[in-house]
Structure 1
Amino acid sequence: MIRKRSLSLSLILATGFLLSLTPQQNKPNIIIILADDMGYSDIGSFGSEIETPHLDAMAEGGLKMTQFYNASRCCPTRASLLTGVYPHQAGVGHMVNEREHPSYRGMLSDECITIADALKENGYTTLMAGKWHLNARKEHWPVKHGFDRYFGLLDGANSYFGNRPYRPNQKLTYALDNVPYTPKEGFYATDAYTDYALKFIEEGKEKGKPFFLYLAYTAPHWPLHALKEDIAKYKGRYMKGWDVLRKERFRRMQEMGIIGREVKLSPRDENVPEWESLSEEEKRRWDEKMAVYAAMVDRMDQNIGRIRQKLKELGEDQNTIIMFLSDNGGSYEAIDGRGFTAEILEASKMPSSSPASFTSYEYEGANVSNTPFRKFKRWEHEGGVSTPFIAYFPGTIKLGSTSQQPAHIIDLMATSLDLAGASYPATYKGKSIKPMEGLSLGPLFNGQKWQGHEAIFFEHEGNRAVRQGEWKLVSIYPENEWALYNMKTDRTELHDLSARYPERVKEMEKLYEGWAAHANVVPFAELVKLDKQRKSK
């Protein structure tokens, strides 16, 4: 027996608003598209030189949110996005490392439900294609978490051209529904995810039910793998160097209103050398890496265009909302000696344009991707937690609108249920379910005033942050020293105001501590200690 909360009541209490459907209007189809390791400025409508016409058209015809936040890492973001609670509450406070602690089980908690669970109970066909990365145990595959159909990668990364384990003793698994899948010749992950998504949508159309699609591309996560025709478009574009590229992106972002005129571009990251200090061979190698990276984003956009075309063919384009975002900022990670197989380390030395290679674009590329911010994936500075967010819903969302209000991945559960006129359960499969932490974005979609969050919270591997209004308090592990920034005038976090406003630091630190207790966060030093004790047994 499932006891349901009234979503109307919960959302009215949370937002004072419920997105309404006329009696004649069908429940909308809902699509959430998640990019992987894509930086804040990597699509055209957020300042990039990369060609993303389909995403740009959605931005021009819908809503751009310029201060939307993720959880700074793949697994925590995916857990939080799907459940509407913070990662620790969802059981994925770190990664998929399995620990005997409810916040760090490395799999979704049975005290949570997914958007798919909730919408399935409310008459939706639920579909997923792409990267899962919320534990590869068969009892935790997507079909066990509310999805009627699934195709994709259960692990965190893989060759885009097939199945290629990159860690010792690793068994990466593609799956179709509840059966392992072996990629065939001609396989390219980004295209394959879309192929199955289109197939699932067509099957769902025959059932006459609205559908929810969670399309989680692995692009542009490493390894850098793209198709030759896409790479060719970008070769040579990056020979001008990272400093010039960052300045060009920043200028376009200010012209577009993504970043305020008062905000300054952050300096080149300390891990990135001066462009002119590189040899010509090193410059060409980086240009090739960036050409492949750009091609991966380009191909993802092409496939988003395929989704939109299919909706039009089926007559569903006017009754489908599409929301797009990234799971974290650009990734500085290198393919080096830490836990990679000898074969992969050898492949990391190959040209990135080769399908046999296994490379990443490291600090240099991530610093460009995250223009104009500091830091990267894993940190709670803006470069780690900021994502471009686009919502496109013809006839509902005003063309070309932009919101500067802070919002978070926890809001997508509430938004999806609001759109569907659906209810959120108090219990599910005999378990009490944690209340949603997010707020519906419905008012913003309708061009109305949105109450927004009193505060938004972050923690990953000891890195911490609180966003409250125009203020952000942030610290880096293991130093654990709070820095205070004004997001209205200094979104690139260049001027620490903690010494000037010590009382505000204390107030926001108290907010963080209250949230950490509420979300059952374990200080990272303690988590590391517990891991060492467990390994020594």
Structure 2
Amino acid sequence: MNKTVKIISFLTLLNISSQSFAQQQIAKKHPNIVLILADDMGFSDIGSFGSETQTPVLDEMAAKGLKMTNFYNASRCCPTRASLITGLFQHQAGVGDMMNTRPEPAYQGYLNRQSVTIAEALKEGGYATFMTGKWHLGQAKENWPTRRGFDQYFGLIDGANSYFENRPYRPNQKLSIVLNEEEYKTPSDYYSTNAYTDFAIKFIEEKRKPNQPFFLFMAYQAPHWPLHALPQDIAKYKGEFMQGWDVLRQQRFEKQKQMGVISKNEKLSPRDPNLPDWNSLTQKQKEDWDDKMAVYAAMIDRMDQNIGKLKAKLKELGEEENTVFMFLSDNGGSNETINNTGFSPQIFKASKMLASNKSSFTAYGFEGANVSNTPFRSFKHWEYEGGTATPFIAYGPNYIKPQLNHQPAHIIDVMNTCLELAGVNYPKTYKGNEIIATTGKSLLPIFQKKKWKGHEALFFEHEGNRALRARDWKLVSEYPSNNWELYNLKKDRIEMNNLATKYPDKVKELTKLYNDWATKTGVIPFEELDKKRPQDKF
């Protein structure tokens, strides 16, 4: 070996050694944690899970990080947020239903004091804690983010709003877009997805001590109704959906199989029975749906752009290498529509406008949600896979090894994951209150591509809809019929082959497991709650 080659080899080894040392030093620090939550986004709505929508930032994170295909939420906005932010099942945290005020402790409609938020726990460990976006965990000021551990907050306290202005959508309702605890007057160029990111960056740059690690919870409104997007983003997708829902579902399904998101032996669920054959529609009906889907795709595209903007800023600040990102959705695609009950007359009128009209206030209904939830059936609110399955991505080159993982995991696991990353213990008490123990499990072994025992069972309940997943078995029922169905998800993830009659002993075994959990967790049969049910608040 000549002298030049020896020198090059030595320098190469020195460089590798230096990189290894640098990574070891980073690993000794407590990382920044960025938790990103999409709203009403279906399982197949980003590129790395099957979509035709352009999401290059999330797709790169998925390719270079962890992509989990069997990750679960709590099937609706409030319950998922309560469970995600506390590491408890939503009933344990006081939000078993929505933000409806009820006397029953498990259904009081805001976070109780027997729960602790990720922000509260990490703050005890020296973290700066920031949140932007949708809160939806209590409208009274004493329940706002700044009262639950966040140093800084900007966003929407309520469940839904215009992306362009503060625009109440229910009679006698005053929605709150706030900065910390003061009402925020939206400027003329306001677009919520951009604003949430801009304030997140502002907090990181201006509201923490030098070298202080931070926890950022960025809870985007997108792509929850109303369908609102910026013209330049909409233009990218106009005409892309004229092939119709059947073709789009099939294309996403084939892409999912190619990427390993679902088994190559899986089947695509049938078109939802509420939908007609695409070819039976008039040209105007097709164009109106294409317009809605173009806006919906544009909303997700803009969210991805903003995640990229945040990521670029962290790189500029020298923080990207010491940051862990986690991304998921709060429930499956939503079949909800804007109707003339519960919405103001002005909003109902606006629901008839084209989605691309800035003054509109509309949703994409069964038609769009059936595409979003490919390959599954059912939607937000129900406990079938279409309601509870979320794409989950975790990214952080110094903390997470690239992989595709098919183990079942749940939003209750995020709390323990954050705490282990931060070197913080889950508290037994907080501010004089005893804290309910979490049954969540840290995902760090998965992050590091090590063996993870996981859960013996995962549980679900929302407004009488129930489910239990125990390894490959899924027990599920729909309210008000309350009939248990049984599926083997390893062979039938789309839940089309009900095995309850064939395996009655398995149904009996899992029913007992579910009932024991429901009793322990404070679940009340929904027919009892339904007798005095207040109006839902989305």
- State the TM-score, normalizing by the size of structure 1: 0.94
Deviations 1:367-418 (A, max 9, x none): 000000010000000000000000001122112x011000000000000001
Query: Residues 162 and 414 (structure 1 numbering): CA distance in 2 closer, same or farther, change over 3 Å?
Result: same
Q: 2:156 is matched with which residue?
A: 153
- Aligned with 2:246: secondary structure? helix
Instruction: Say which of 192, 215, 219 aligns to 1:216.
Output: 219
Q: 1:397 is matched with which residue?
A: 400
Instruction: Say which of 296, 319, 343 aligns to 2:322.
Output: 319
- Give, in angstroms, the shift of residue 208 of structure 1: 2.3
- Give, in angstroms, the shift of residue 25 of structure 1: 2.0
Q: 1:414 is matched with which residue?
A: 416
Decide whether the 8 Å contact of 1:190 with 1:299 is kept in 2.
yes
2:451 is aligned with 1:449 = yes
Deviations 1:296-338 (A, max 9, x none): 0000000000010011001111110000000000000001112
Q: Distance in 1 between matches of 2:180 and 2:254?
A: 45
* % same residue: 61
Q: 1:44 is matched with which residue?
A: 47
Q: Distance in 2 between matches of 1:93 and 1:220?
A: 23
Q: 2:499 is matched with which residue?
A: 497
2:488 is aligned with 1:481 = no
Decide whether the 8 Å contact of 2:67 with 2:394 is kept in 1.
yes
2:200 is aligned with 1:167 = no
- Give, in angstroms, the shift of residue 204 of structure 1: 4.3
Deviations 1:445-499 (A, max 9, x none): 0000001001000000100000000010000000000110011010000100111
Q: 1:266 is matched with which residue?
A: 269
Decide whether the 8 Å contact of 2:26 with 2:321 is kept in 1.
no
Decide whether the 8 Å contact of 1:330 with 1:383 is kept in 2.
yes
Instruction: Say which of 210, 227, 235 aligns to 1:232.
Output: 235
The residue type paired with residue 154 of structure 1 is I
- Give, in angstroms, the shift of residue 530 of structure 1: 3.9
Q: 2:460 is matched with which residue?
A: 458
Q: Distance in 2 between matches of 1:298 and 1:235?
A: 13
Q: Which deviates further from its counterpart, 89-98 or 23-32?
A: 23-32
- Write the mapping of 1:62-77 to structure 2, written as runs, cut at 5 A: 62-77=65-80
- Write the mapping of 1:350-365 to structure 2, written as runs, cut at 5 A: 350-365=353-368
Decide whether the 8 Å contact of 2:128 with 2:208 is kept in 1.
no
Identify unmatched segments of 5+ residues in structure 1: 1-19
- Aligned with 2:419: secondary structure? helix
- Write the mapping of 1:290-439 to structure 2, written as runs, cut at 5 A: 290-399=293-402, 401-439=403-441
- Aligned with 1:207: secondary structure? coil
2:56 is aligned with 1:53 = yes
Decide whether the 8 Å contact of 1:21 with 1:27 is kept in 2.
no
- Write the mapping of 1:106-125 to structure 2, written as runs, cut at 5 A: 106-125=109-128
- Write the mapping of 1:180-259 to structure 2, written as runs, cut at 5 A: 180-204=183-207, 206-259=209-262
Query: Residues 32 and 231 (structure 1 numbering): CA distance in 2 closer, same or farther, change over 3 Å?
Result: same
Decide whether the 8 Å contact of 1:97 with 1:106 is kept in 2.
yes
Deviations 1:104-143 (A, max 9, x none): 0000011000000000001000000000000111111100
RMSD: 1.3
- Give, in angstroms, the shift of residue 23 of structure 1: 9.1
The residue type paired with residue 435 of structure 2 is I
Q: Distance in 2 between matches of 1:35 and 1:59?
A: 16
Q: Distance in 2 between matches of 1:208 and 1:171?
A: 39
Deviations 1:403-449 (A, max 9, x none): 10000000000000010011111111111000112000010000000
- Aligned with 1:226: secondary structure? coil
Q: Distance in 1 between matches of 2:150 and 2:208?
A: 16
Deviations 1:122-174 (A, max 9, x none): 10000000000001111111000000000000000000001000100110000
- Aligned with 1:172: secondary structure? coil
Q: Distance in 2 between matches of 1:246 and 1:366?
A: 11
Deviations 1:264-311 (A, max 9, x none): 000000111110111000000000000000000000000000010011
Q: Distance in 2 between matches of 1:157 and 1:46?
A: 26
Q: 1:14 is matched with which residue?
A: none
Q: Distance in 2 between matches of 1:21 and 1:455?
A: 36
Q: 1:4 is matched with which residue?
A: none
Q: Distance in 1 between matches of 2:224 and 2:349?
A: 19
Q: 2:520 is matched with which residue?
A: 518
- Higher radius of gyration, 1 or 2: 2
Q: Distance in 1 between matches of 2:25 and 2:225?
A: 45
Deviations 1:326-371 (A, max 9, x none): 0000000001112111100110111110110001000000000000
Decide whether the 8 Å contact of 2:26 with 2:398 is kept in 1.
no
Decide whether the 8 Å contact of 2:79 with 2:95 is kept in 1.
yes
Q: Distance in 2 between matches of 1:125 and 1:37?
A: 28
The residue type paired with residue 89 of structure 2 is Y
Identify unmatched segments of 5+ residues in structure 2: 1-22
Q: Distance in 2 between matches of 1:377 and 1:181?
A: 30
Decide whether the 8 Å contact of 2:331 with 2:390 is kept in 1.
yes
Q: Distance in 2 between matches of 1:437 and 1:374?
A: 29
Q: Distance in 1 between matches of 2:328 and 2:335?
A: 19
Q: Distance in 2 between matches of 1:445 and 1:221?
A: 30
Q: Distance in 1 between matches of 2:423 and 2:185?
A: 39
Q: Distance in 2 between matches of 1:272 and 1:159?
A: 27
- State the TM-score, normalizing by the size of structure 2: 0.94
Instruction: Say which of 506, 509, 516 aligns to 1:507.
Output: 509
Q: Distance in 2 between matches of 1:403 and 1:143?
A: 35
Q: Distance in 1 between matches of 2:364 and 2:209?
A: 43
Query: Residues 21 and 70 (structure 1 numbering): CA distance in 2 closer, same or farther, change over 3 Å?
Result: farther
Decide whether the 8 Å contact of 2:154 with 2:177 is kept in 1.
yes
